[in-house]
Amino acid sequence: QQQVKQSPQSLIVQKGGISIINCAYENTAFDYFPWYQQFPGKGPALLIAIRPDVSEKKEGRFTISFNKSAKQFSLHIMDSQPGDSATYFCAASSRGDDKIIFGKGTRLHILP
Amino acid sequence: GAVVSQHPSRVICKSGTSVKIECRSLDFQATTMFWYRQFPKQSLMLMATSNEGSKATYEQGVEKDKFLINHASLTLSTLTVTSAHPEDSSFYICSAEDAAANYGYTFGSGTRLTVV
């Protein structure tokens, strides 16, 4: 049972373009939705996170859009750069459970 | 911000030996730490939740006797892979929650274990 579904599995975007990664969840108890960026051989690093009381959060070139009714959230990377090439994981957790559930990841490659 | 230090970053060991991996929260106290395993090009798989001063909670299918977890203090958790075999070769990652950051999960840099 996959509680957080992430798509696409891989993504190629031209430099300067917009990268969009989507996630959907099933558990309505989830109340924290982070995105992590992972480079090869490194641990994941928190990129940006959102709670369900807002529909959008922006930090620099990174934006999370959240649709509570559809149980979906997405990451938008504006003006994508080669240095953004990495694997991105969406995740979800709930206040009543310490566990954080990860999506399967998206391998993003930005063409120079 | 919160920093989690994981050591060693890489380790090669012979089959049948044991390997200990340390995870430290450097600037915050972590009553709960998590241990993950990650296979190439795959997502993180939660192995166990480490609780300070009590026994770890293991996920289904994870062998407690093979993967020993000790959380002796609020800043240190260790994972010991006992009697390691080549199939235990993987990337192991710890994380800790900074309760003061309100749901801030910080990950260590990971340990690449190779069993030969």
Convert the pLDDT of each residue in A77-102 to its tens digit.
999 999 999 999 999 998 767 788 99
Is residue B50 within 8 Å of residue B69, measured between CB atoms? Answer: yes
**pLDDT at position B66 over 90:** yes
Contact A82, A18 (CB under 8 A): no
β-strands A106-111, B10-13 pairing? unpaired
CB contact under 8 A, B103 and A36: no
- pLDDT tens column, A32-77: 999 999 999 999 999 999 999 999 999 999 999 999 999 999 999 9
DSSP state of B28: S
Interface probe for A, chosen from B103, B109, B111, B112 (most Cβ of A below 10 Å), is B103
Residues on chain B touching A93 (C-beta within 8 angstroms): 103, 105
Mean pLDDT within B40-56: 90
Residue B35 forms contact with A (CB below 8 Å): no
CA distances in angstroms from B60 to A27, B35, B57, B63, B91, listed in the order given = 20, 14, 10, 8, 19
Q: Is A83 helix (H, G, I), strand (E, B) or coil?
A: helix
Q: Would you call B88 helix, strand, or coil by DSSP?
A: helix
- Contact assessment for residue B94 and residue B79, using Cβ atoms and an 8 Å cutoff: yes
- Contact (CB<8Å) B44/A49: no
B109 min Cα distance to partner chain A (Å): 4
Query: Per-residue pLDDT averaged across B9-37, rounded?
Result: 94
